[in-house]
A and B are shown apart, each in its own frame.
Chain A
């Protein structure tokens, strides 16, 4: 069977057209340009329509992948998007930022002998196609149940919960602390990876089917959880995301020119600091930029710095290439854009001038020793390997801890020892009746799609509760 299928496959995986690295490294326009209709249909024709598709189980929200791809292959675009929307209300986002290589595409049967179907590119194509052409209809809503749900936080998990529960007929209000919805999709992920108009239009789709949105609402301080119930909400979902950024805790870290990745990206993305002074929020533009950490967020920071005109951008990471947590595609894009990687290197201290501005960095070379608790080989400093590097902007991207604002406001919500919310791993139920949680506030920093998966599970559990009780 398998041999047969491979023989049938004549069309190679269609490459995604992209802006040339030499051009895009200085602009904020999106890097991939998207498939044309013809390319998408060609790529879709590669799917062999497995009877027991492993791609679907590889998708945290269980999209009917062969189903929507089949519709694209036959040019039934409205039907294709309908199939996706049944399971995923944010396809334009997911098509762009999901780590498909370790999910749906990672288990695609074609990938065993050849390259997997470009599922992410196809999802992105269809979402963009229906948006641009103004076609496609959201699945029909179930009759109104009269139940009210408050969703706290408008990032990926909150939007998923909201979308699912709206379709099930509940009355959903989304509360966002920032002045704009989208959470990490708007403050964290840069424009060149996820244009903000696209996030806005996916949120607008949910508004069309009845989502109510209240921005500037810091739940926990302006309204408590108990007050939400008093106001008539029957259930609450908490998806407030990661919080307090972690720092390196080395001397000089409070010098001017040292940002957490959260601050740097928020200034650039949410506040549009790259358009200063047209927008009022300034952002420090370094000539010699150093980014610490090697996750996707670090790559976003490094590539943003390059676009803001840096002469050199260096990523400093204390482990080796194999341990870098960023997606291969992100690393590849960063390297193409001229980002340098200094691996097995650790910062020792920051050096400032008399005004307290960062000018240099002292670092140290490392070598790999025995495996540590995480199973990764522990980096060990090499004695006498200290060196000085010029650096006028440093971005620290080594993760974040939980946000204490909401969790401290309600003692009935039990936290784990790290301060994240203790929630049932299957249902997302917290220790407070009628309250669910999901996404980074439960797991610590993770990915958009994992937060969406948690949102999906919580939405199912909330729906059960609203139908049958706790």
Chain B
């Protein structure tokens, strides 16, 4: 069992932070790696990227958006409750090195994944320019933490309720115009990563994206997380989760993420009914 030692609600309760006691994983986890989490005996295995770790306390932090039955179930777990299974650290760690100017672009819950990577690049003596965005002010997460590890910091909201109005790609375009950028790291909803990659390609700036396809085992066994990168089949769990954004077939990934849309909606509705319409 993996006990939740701290729980926070973010983004008006749509995003949940769990700090989980998992000392062995905390000792080894590196930025960019993920865990697979299963709440109980009948639960699904859900991959979630590790947002932070504290090797001394023996904890890892995961931050997830409540989108379906499984994350809905996770949301009901309070501090002191436990996940039945947490498996990790999985996937390849982000290759962090001193490059010069690095832009970190995060959208929605992707900012949670981006944060340890941003901190890593900052610690590796890069000039870090961060751009984070959300649909509106209430849905922004980790603004202060991201700000603290960035040399230059931009916030965008789609509706203009906070920061600059517009998409992260608008702010990124300005940054790319005025600076020599060595690397862009973009993590967020798949369409966001797709548009960031299209933009940076036209500037010929290397771009890393972190993919979140559907997975079962997360250890290179099931092949469910396959994505097409540079025309070849890759497995996000062992070859990724980070890939060169200029090579990823995002449209294929967007379609594959909808594989269980109908089943998931049915399961989620039943789950919500059980909870009394909450």
Contact = CB atoms under 8 A, between A and B. Distances in A.
Contact of B238 (A244, A249, A255, A271): A244
B192 interface: no
Contacts of B227: 254
Interface string B256-278: 10111001101100100000000
Contacts of B88: 218, 221-222
Nearest to A408: B238
Nearest to B25: A222
Contact of A254 (B25, B42, B87, B226): B226
Interface in A397-429: 400, 403-405
A53 interface: no
Given A179-B85, A404-B238, A356 B70 contact: no
A279 B42 contact: yes
A202 to B, nearest CB: 20
Given A177-B87, A216-B86, A260-B223, A222 B263 contact: no
Main secondary structure of the interface of B (DSSP, over half): mixed
Nearest to B70: A280
A355 interface: yes
Interface in B56-98: 69-70, 73, 84-90
Nearest to A272: B42
A284 interface: yes
B121 interface: no
A403 B255 contact: no
Contacts of B266: 277
B216 interface: yes
Contact of B87 (A216, A256, A272, A276): A216
Given A222-B89, A254-B252, A355-B258, A281 B224 contact: no
B267 A282 contact: yes
Contacts, number: 123
A356 B24 CA distance: 40
Nearest to B44: A280
Contact of A282 (B28, B223, B238, B263): B263
A355 B254 CA distance: 10
Given A216-B85, A276-B263, A245 B256 contact: no
B26 to A, nearest CB: 10
A245 B270 contact: no
Contacts of B89: 221-222
Given A216-B87, A244-B235, A262 B42 contact: no
B264 A282 contact: yes
A368 B263 CA distance: 43
B263 to A, nearest CB: 4
Interface in A343-359: 355-356
A241 B260 CA distance: 29
Given A215-B85, A253-B233, A356-B256, A280 B43 contact: yes
A267 interface: yes
Main secondary structure of the interface of A (DSSP, over half): loop
A394 B88 CA distance: 30
Given A215-B85, A247-B233, A253-B233, A262 B70 contact: no
A278 B42 contact: yes
A259 interface: yes
A262 B45 contact: no
A223 interface: yes
Contacts of B42: 272, 278-280
B252 A266 contact: no
A254 B233 contact: yes
Interface in A232-280: 241-245, 247, 249, 253-257, 259-260, 262-263, 266-267, 271-272, 276-280
Nearest to B233: A247
B220 A284 contact: no
A177 B219 contact: yes
B142 interface: no
Contacts of A256: 255-256, 258-259
Given A179-B84, A254-B233, A405-B238, A244 B220 contact: yes
Nearest to B30: A221
Instruction: Name the residue among A255, A262, A263 with the largest chain B CB count within 10 angstroms.
Output: A263
A257 to B, nearest CB: 8
B45 A271 contact: yes
Contacts of A276: 263, 267
A299 B181 CA distance: 54
Contacts of B221: 187, 241-245, 262, 266, 400, 403
A280 B270 CA distance: 11
B222 A266 contact: yes
Given A215-B85, A222-B24, A260-B222, A254 B69 contact: no
Contact of B217 (A217, A266, A282): A266
B251 to A, nearest CB: 9
B219 A218 contact: yes
Contact of A222 (B28, B235, B256): B28
A155 to B, nearest CB: 11
Interface in A179-195: 179, 187
B53 interface: no
Nearest to A223: B24
Contacts of B249: 254
A178 interface: yes
A404 B223 contact: no
A356 B257 CA distance: 11
B122 interface: no
Nearest to A403: B220
Contacts of A253: 233
A271 B43 CA distance: 8
A263 B224 contact: yes
A222 B219 CA distance: 12
Contacts of A279: 42
A276 B270 CA distance: 12
Contacts of A179: 38, 45, 84-85, 87
B199 interface: no
A418 B45 CA distance: 30
Contacts of A400: 221
A221 B28 contact: yes
B44 A281 contact: yes
Nearest 3 A-B pairs (CB), nearest first?
A: A356-B255, A282-B263, A260-B223
6 contacts: A178-B87, A222-B25, A243-B221, A262-B222, A278-B42, A356-B256
Interface of B: 24-25, 28, 38, 42-45, 69-70, 73, 84-90, 216-217, 219-224, 226-228, 233, 235, 238, 249, 252, 255-256, 258-260, 263-264, 266-267, 270
Given A177-B217, A243-B219, 16 more contacts: A216-B85, A217-B24, A218-B88, A222-B89, A223-B24, A244-B221, A255-B255, A256-B255, A256-B258, A257-B259, A263-B223, A284-B260, A355-B255, A400-B221, A404-B220, A404-B238
